[in-house]
Amino acid sequence: MLNTTMKMLKLAVFSAVSAVALAAAPTPSLAQDVLNLKLGHIQSEQDLWHLGAQKFKDELEKRSNGAITLTIYPNSTLGGDRDLVEGMQMGTVDFGLIAGVLGNFAPSIQLLELPYLFKSQDEFNKVVKGKIGEEIAGNVVETANVRILDWWERGSRQVTSNKPINGIDDLKGLKIRVPEIPAMVTTWRAIGANPTPMAWSEVYTGLEQGVIEAQENPIPFIFGGRINEVQSNLSFTNHKYEYVTLAISEMRWKQLTPEQQKIVVEAANAATAFENEQVRTKTDEMLKKMEAAGLKVSHPDTAPIAAAAQSAHDAFGAKVDPDLYNRIKQELGR
């Protein structure tokens, strides 16, 4: 009887101690296994870029069952294009929506920035989605430490100003904002304009205060940036078929497991298909809204503008990468 009582007492003490130990032990947290990443871009929450970034976030989190999460920083919160690239190089930014400013870190991609080099979106896609695009992306990894996951369409670039642009004479001396991209500066100078490199975050105020007289961008960018509030005219120059890359820090890429890399690539492909469809279906709608609000639209004779622009191509191509430049022309049947 005594033995039985002692056994029961020991069992009770053991149970009590175990309960205390379990209560004191840290509860395993799924958060410890979650990979939290961040993406920066320069546009507003109303822009199609932001919608595409949200799609990328949704796909990443869905395909990883929540093991990968993404925080999006719009409105140049993490800095301008150059800052985002430098952040990816240092590993402080994981993903960025980056366009031609990459050319300051990887010169060969500048060839895609030459106005009037491509005559259509199909021509542009033919180059970047083929072997030449793979080569350029490889150069970007090697020299900039940034990996291009995919190319997003943005539509063709148009000029906005406070006077109608009916032909090349109306561009002479025009103080036009351009991105910090050498190919754009060189070509607009050849056209006869006064190109002024400026960060996108400064453009609205620059136009409002008269620091610059004009700017050029795809219609979704113009709409998202509310440029029609400070510019009265839009001219269909169609001078460049535009893109933005969805890119990842190569430093971060190398830290991912093969399974995580697969998820990132698949999510990027899904976001690209979504973004491109948004651009194709909503650009006309955005233009109509701006016209209804008072924006005037003109269709200048672009042949002389294109000829002046193309006069700078050969010299620029020879300076950056003559072999690659010639292969792009050959691919386009020039």
Domain 34-331 has CATH 3.40.190.170: yes
Q: At residue 4, does pLDDT exceed 70? A: no
pLDDT over 60 at 22, yes or no? no
Tell me what pLDDT residue 32 has: 53
Mean pLDDT, the chain, rounded, equals 90
| pLDDT for 180 | 87
For 132, the token pair is 């030449």
CA distance 113 to 115: 6
pLDDT (tens digit per residue) in 65-81: 999 999 999 999 999 99
Per-residue pLDDT at 10 exceeds 60: no
- When pLDDT is averaged across residues 312-318 and rounded to a whole number, the result is 95
Average pLDDT over residues 286-306: 97
Q: Which residues contact 4 (CB under 8 A, 6 or more apart)?
A: none
Residue type present at position 195: P
Contact of 165 with 159, CB cutoff 8 Å: yes
Count CB neighbours of 89 within 10 A.
Answer: 16
Q: Please give the pLDDT value at position 30.
A: 40
Contact 191, 260 (CB under 8 A): no
Per cent of the chain over pLDDT 90 is: 85
Q: Please report the pLDDT score of residue 94 as a whole number.
A: 98
CA 117 to chain centre: 21
Mapped onto helix, strand or coil, the DSSP state of residue 199 is coil
Radius of gyration of the chain (CA): 26
pLDDT above 80 (res 23): no
> What integer pLDDT is reported at residue 26 of this predicted model?
36
For residue 25, pLDDT over 60 is answered with no
| pLDDT on residue 29 | 35
Q: Is the pLDDT of residue 218 over 80?
A: yes
Judge contact between 39 and 76, C-beta under 8 A.
Answer: no
Give residue 190's pLDDT band: very low, low, confident or very high (50, 70, 90): very high
pTM comes to 0.82
Across 252-275, average pLDDT: 98
- Per-residue confidence (pLDDT) for residue 305, from 0 to 100: 98
Distance CA 55, CA 78 (A): 20
